Amino acid sequence: MAARRKDPNPPTGWWYNTRTGEVEHGELSRAIDLMGPYPDEATARRALEIAKERTKRADREDAEWEGEDVDER
């Protein structure tokens, strides 16, 4: 495996690594493993919770659009 080069302009923001469960800033892991960017470390630590909330909201909106009864799941 080739050595990673330091990025002279690393991305800003905080990222949640779904493979390791760690929060990252600056030099990052593979993009496929990351969720973000988030504005701060605390928000990045809540990445899975935020994604779950957004999915529930989108599911409710889809159900409403399709005229289905909507329950609070």
pLDDT grade for 68, boundaries at 50, 70 and 90 = confident
Within 8 A by CB and 6+ apart from 16, the residues are: 22, 23, 24, 34, 35, 36, 38, 44, 45, 47, 48
Question: What angle is formed at CA 6 by the lines to CA 3 and CA 12, rounded to 5 degrees?
Answer: 135
In a domain, 9, yes or no: no
In a domain, 59, yes or no: yes
In a domain, 53, yes or no: yes
In a domain, 6, yes or no: no
The domain tally of the chain equals: 1
Tell me which residue range forms the domain holding 49: 14-65
> How much is the pTM?
0.72
pLDDT digit string (tens) for 42-52? 999 999 999 99
In a domain, 46, yes or no: yes
Q: What is the DSSP letter of 73?
A: -
Bigger pLDDT: 57 vs 28: 57
Q: What is the pLDDT of residue 1?
A: 46
In a domain, 45, yes or no: yes
pLDDT grade for 27, boundaries at 50, 70 and 90 = confident
